[in-house]
Structure 1
Amino acid sequence: MEADGKTPVGFWASTSDRHSVVEDIQAIAAGSMLAALGVTMLAAADLLIGGTAGLGFLVRYSTGLSFGLVFFALNLPFYWLSYRRMGLAFTVKTFSAVALTSVLTEVLPTLIGFERLHPIAAALFGGLLIGMGMLALFRHRASLGGFGILALYLQDRFGWRAGLVQLGLDLSVLALSFVVASPMVIFFSILAAATLNLTLAINHRTDRYIVR
Structure 2
Amino acid sequence: MSAKSDSPAPPEPAGAPAPGVPHTRLEDAYALFVGTVQLSLGVVLLKAAGLATGGVAGISLVLNYLTGLPVGLFYAAMTLPMLAVTLRAMSWLFIVKTLIVTFGLFAMTAIAAQTIDIDWISKPVAALAGGSVIGMGALALARHGAGTGGSGAIVLWLYRTRGWNAGRTQMLFDGCVLLFSLVALDVTRVLWSLLGVMATGAILYVWHRPGRYTGY
TM-score (norm 1): 0.89
Alignment partner of 1:42 out of 37, 46, 49: 46
Q: Which residue of 1 aligns with 2:113?
A: 109
1:207: how far off?
2.0
Matched, 1:152 2:161: no
The count of corresponding residues between Structure 1 and Structure 2 is: 198
Q: Which residue of 2 aligns with 1:75?
A: 79
Q: For residues 25 and 125 of structure 2, what CA distance do their matches in structure 1 show?
A: 35
Contact 1:32 1:97 in 2 (8 A): yes
Q: For residues 185 and 38 of structure 1, what CA distance do their matches in structure 2 show?
A: 16
1:166: how far off?
0.5
Alignment partner of 1:204 out of 187, 205, 208: 208
Matched, 1:96 2:100: yes
Please state whether the residue corresponding to 2:177 is helix, strand or coil: helix
1:16: how far off?
4.8
1:39 partner letter: V
Contact 2:75 2:149 in 1 (8 A): no
Gaps of at least 5 residues in structure 1 are: 1-14
1:102: how far off?
1.4
Contact 1:83 1:90 in 2 (8 A): no
The equivalences for 1:128-143 within 5 A come to 128-143=132-147
2:182 partner letter: F
Q: Which residue of 2 aligns with 1:190?
A: 194
Matched, 1:57 2:66: no
The equivalences for 1:120-131 within 5 A come to 120-131=124-135
CA RMSD of aligned residues (A): 1.3
Percent identity of paired positions between Structure 1 and Structure 2: 35
1:164: how far off?
0.8
Contact 2:40 2:109 in 1 (8 A): yes
Contact 2:36 2:137 in 1 (8 A): yes
2:49 partner letter: A
Contact 1:123 1:191 in 2 (8 A): yes
